Structure formats: structure tokens, C-alpha cells
Chains A and B, each alone.
Chain A
Amino acid sequence: MLKQIEGSQAVADVVALCRPNVISAYPITPQTHIVEDLSVIVGQGKLDAEFVNVESEFSAASVVLGASAAGARTYTATSSQGLLLMAEVIYCISGMRLPIVLTCANRAISAPLSIWNDQQDSMAVRDAGWIQLFAEDNQEAADLHIQAYKIAEQTFLPVMVCMDGFILTHAFEPVDIPEQKQVDDFLPPFKPRHIVDPRWPRGIGLYADPRFYMETRYILHRAMEKSEKTIKEVSADFAKTFGRDSGGFIKTYKLKEADVAIVSMGSVVGTIKDLIDQLEEEGKKVGLLQICSYRPFPRQEIYNILKDKMNIVVLEKCISLGRGGILASDIRWSFPRAEKKDRNISSFIAGLGGRNITSDDLRYMVERVEKEPVELEFLGLKKELISDKDL
């Protein structure tokens, strides 16, 4: 049913339809409304689940780890500092192959303290063996959660659904919330692979000495690569059942004829598409490649789609300090070195700590890369706030 609701409420409603058995979370802006809404759903008896109010994100992640190991379908959500505090457990969850679903309401990281949106938080754990899916709008954010459970429980890999804090979590948009029956038909009950059960004693997360440890990483890496197939299948399946495209690996917009290809992910692609339409009216051919699955990284797909594009520009809301654009590095790595040396891949960092990314900023970016390639530039930087002695 189409409802005019807040993004957080949409996610909470849909997570409830996925019937998690155990939910555990600690409040942090801008994730808080999701878990508050879920606590209301549980409180009203509309979802039979244990809702555990823990004392920190570290505990929240540990509680869902334990519950998942005991065979429960689980859910948690966080942002920023909370995700960093979970980091130790985040690695354990993937190492133990527990299919936990977590929402990351993307927010900047301290210090200085900022509650506003960028994507540095989920980037900080991008190498942990979690599938990371990025939502463009609230409909997709809601849909991705239904897909996330299915992907996780087929691959035994945890899934992080990333949605931009405030821009999505706090925005009211019409969102189609499916019926319970539709979700039940799409998402079968969770069948755990191993359960901690005294009748079948087994240890998980035990000590692996140098004879064994490396293989666990290799297997996990291969599982991440192989999950590509599942992500695509589940997204296709979703489209068939629910009648709309959501998720998958990558999406494109007016890319075929484009002279400039913009690559980005998350909610900013909405602004990018608007600009592309404007530029089209002005006679300029610009297109978009939108990353939906950031991990596993759709390298081959990106290569296939962009191989004829000579002017590519990557726009991202995060940075590897001392290295540059993170997504830009991934994109640059997607092309064999020897091939087409004159291909330009420019890198722009934008929107850190919630700075707005305006259509004018994006127009400037396109005009800039039309003239020359850009190694790295911060879009919308206020030079007047930086003095020489800071540098």
C-alpha cells in the first residue's frame, strides 16, 4: 500500500514484515527513528520479536551475533560512531558467516562531531566481509531490506543496507509497503546452517592457528565474489514479485550516448539525474552509472558498461585520508592499466559532514572535467575557512 511516510518508518515497517526474531539496537542520530518505530511495532504486539534495548552499539551487535548463532533472524541498525564501535563484532559476524541484516543510516564521523550525512562510516568497514547495498530513495531503502534478508540467508553473509542519514531517513515520501503475504511468499523462513544447540555441541569463532586462518579469509573472499549472482537473482526475483526494479548490482541513466559518465552512489544520484536532464535540454550528453552493490564490487560490470567512455567522473561522500577518493580508486582499478591510456577518470569528494551538493556544484563538476581531468577535488570547499598555517 502506498503510504506517505518517513524513510525510517518505511524501513521499520518493512523490517517488521520480514519477521525478525530478535532486534537489538542503541539509539544514535539519524538511525534512531528506525528502532523507535520498531519498538512501537513490537510494543503493540504486531511483531512477535524480542526487542533488546542494550547499553551500546557494541552490545547491540553482540546480541544479534549471539541470537543469529542460536538460529534467529535478527536485525540491528546504527550510524557513524555506533558503527565504528561495532567494528570488532562486525568482523566476527562475517567471520562466523551469520546472515545478520543491519541498516547504516550514513553519517559523518568524529572529530569534529557531526550528526550530518556522508558515507565515511560504512566505508570504514567496507573490507569486513559484509555485503553493502546503497539505497537511492526511500522506496529502494525499504525494498533492499526485504532483499537483504534473502541474500544474507542464501549466502550466509551479513548485509548492510546503507541509506543517507536525514536525506533519506528523515524525508517523507510516498513508499509502497507490501502486504505481509507478499513478503512471506518472497522470503521463506530462515533455515540456519549451523545452530548453537546443546544437542549438537559445536564451537564457533574458535582459535585458528596459522595452519587454518588464511583459508577462512580466502573462503570469505570467494563467498563475497560469488554473492554477486545471488544479489542479481534476488533483485530480479523481487522485480517479478513486487513489480518494480530495486537493488541489483548497478544501474544506469542515459549512459549509452553520454560523453561524460558520472559514477556515484546513494541519494545524490537523484540530484545527478535532474542535472543530466537539464544538461540534455542544453544539448550536452551526460550519463550516470549508479553503484547499488558496493561490496561485492561490480568490477566486471562496470568495465563492460564504461569501457568505451573516455571521460568518467566519480563523485563520492567519503575519502581515504592520505590517498583520495575511495570509490574513485575502485573505479580506476576496474580498468586494465595498459588499456586506453587517454581515458580520464576524475575524482570529486563532496557533501562531507552534510554539506549540500547542489545542482550548480554538479554542473561545475561536469564543466570542469569537460576541460581537463581532475586528479582530486573537494567540491564546494570554502577556501576562506582554511589558512596557510593549517596546511
Chain B
Amino acid sequence: MEEIPTPSKEQPHHPLDDLIRTDRIPHIWCPGCGIGTVFSACLAALKASGINLQKTVMVSGIGCSGRAAGYVKLDSFHTTHGRAIPFATGLKLANPELNIVVFSGDGDLFAIGGNHFIHAARRNMDITVICVNNLNYGMTGGQVAATTPYLAKSTTTPAGNPETPFNLPLMAYACGATYVARWTMLHIRDLTDSITEALCKKGFSFIEALSPCPVNYGRRNKQKPLDMLKLYQEKAIIKNDADPATLDIDFEKGIILGKFIDLDRPTFIENYDKIYRPSRLQENVPELNS
């Protein structure tokens, strides 16, 4: 009888292990949290895209989502709160060969860091931004964010949120992003495909991944861990090319998912070189880092 080898401890146990700093596991994410699923979609996409992972960098800000940079086995940076995008911009400009993935939370990217998002999209910086939108600041204990639905409860809106949240895909589009999509962490294949596509695409790409935070958001809004997933399943309306103005998140009427924008326009570096370094374009001057 043929002997089945028992896997040694060093052997990878998970198909994505080679992209994970396994020495840092267990991770900090709570049971029922969606960030891990979005993270693994991102890792699967990094593999599927065929891009050179030796030249790929992940940048995160601060937050539960921001911890991703600490778990990925790539060059990665955990920046200060809100500053992942300008940090990524600097990386890209100093070394345009790099593929840059920004992986961060809704608070980090759209509250404290919102200003950077709109300008990077306007410039069409060639980076891929993945936002884990869990509708609150998970890490600090569930405070209201710029994405918290109207009337939802949070630790700083105990009587309900009086403000209107952002429609993130609309904002990305309005600011100039060339690729915009939204999925939930339940739509894992679509999400992975979208990230793969975005990684291969030149220009500013934005993917919003809706994800539950049962511990903070769910608890205060009377949602059990599975309730949010059921909502994602029941209320999802897949509508590619939907008008970005119609994409407000509405858990009653439905949440529109899909790829909304996929267009081409010159990136920041292309435009810059055209005006300030016309000679480089002709002579094919070697990159800064070589």
C-alpha cells in the first residue's frame, strides 16, 4: 500500500499561505468579521492577476482593515491614520514600476483621509484602492463614520445618525477614477474578479467591499452576525454599468453591486512626462530605481 505522507509543520496549509506572514497569525479580526474574506479575495486576485509580486506593495492606514498590511507577505506599509493614499502616491512616483494596492477602511479612506482620495482620483494616480466598508470605525469601538447609514446607531450617535452617508462609487467616479466597482464580502468570486481586473488596469481603480462588523456595528443595530450576510444576499442587485448617482446604499430597497466604471484616460505620470519630460518619453530613459 502506498504511504500517504503526513504534512510536515513547515508545509503550507492554505493555498494563500505563501502570501501571508503566517508567523503573525492568529490575526486580530473578530469572529464573524468580514475583513478576512475581503483580504483573501485580494490575495487570490494578486495571484490570479499574474502581476509581478516582487514588484507589488500593499499600503494600509490605521484600523481593523488597515491591519491587512501587517499580514501580507509582500513589501507592505502601515502608515498613519488616513495617509495610505499619499504614501502610495509617493511610492509610485519614486518607483513607477511598482504595483500598488491600498487596502484600508472606510473611516481611514473617506473620513480622515478623504481629501487624499479625491485628489489621487483626480490625478489618476496608477494605484488600486480597496475599501473595506463596514459602515463604522471598527477599531476604535464602533463610532459613526462618513459611511454610517442615516439613523443607524453607533457609540457616538446613540440616538441614531443624523447625517447622510457618502455614496462612495459616485464620489470615486466624480473625482476621476477610471475603474469603479462595488461588491460585498459574500460575493467573493465577483469581488476577486474585480480586484484582479483592477490590478491589471492602468489608472486609479476603486473597489468598495461591503463587510460586516458584527462586534461593533451589528451589535448596536440589532443585527446578529449572520443578519448582515442575509441582507447582502437578499438585497443585492447586480447591475453593471449602473449610473453612479443611483448607488446610495439602501438596505430596504436594495444595494446595487457591480462594475460601474471602466474607462481610460492618461495617468498622472503619463501626463506629467508629456509636459515635463518629453525627452524621457522618446529616449526611454531608465527608471529612477535602476
Binding site for B on A (CB under 8 A): 26-29, 32, 35-36, 39-40, 43-44, 51, 53, 55-56, 81, 85, 110-111, 113
Contact = CB atoms under 8 A, between A and B. Distances in A.
B158 interface: yes
A43 B112 CA distance: 24
For B144, B146, B156, which residue has the most chain A Cβ atoms within 10 angstroms?
Answer: B156
B112 A55 contact: yes
Interface stretch (B78-86, B169-177, B181-189, B223-231): B78-86
Contacts of B144: 53
Given A27-B140, A35-B156, 17 more contacts: A26-B112, A27-B156, A32-B141, A32-B143, A32-B155, A36-B143, A36-B155, A36-B156, A39-B156, A39-B157, A43-B158, A43-B159, A44-B158, A53-B143, A55-B114, A56-B111, A113-B62
Contacts, number: 47
Contacts of B62: 113
Contact of B143 (A27, A40, A43, A113): A27
A53 to B, nearest CB: 5
Contacts of B155: 32, 36, 39
For A27, A29, A43, which residue has the most chain B Cβ atoms within 10 angstroms?
Answer: A27
A356 to B, nearest CB: 23
A81 B81 CA distance: 8
Contact of B141 (A26, A27, A51): A27
A96 B120 CA distance: 34
4 tightest CB-CB pairs across the interface, nearest first?
Answer: A43-B158, A55-B111, A56-B112, A27-B140
B137 interface: yes
12 contacts: A26-B111, A27-B143, A32-B140, A32-B141, A32-B155, A44-B158, A53-B157, A55-B114, A81-B80, A81-B81, A113-B62, A113-B78
Interface in B165-224: none
A53 B81 contact: no
A35 to B, nearest CB: 7
A27 to B, nearest CB: 4
Interface in B128-152: 137, 140-141, 143-144, 146
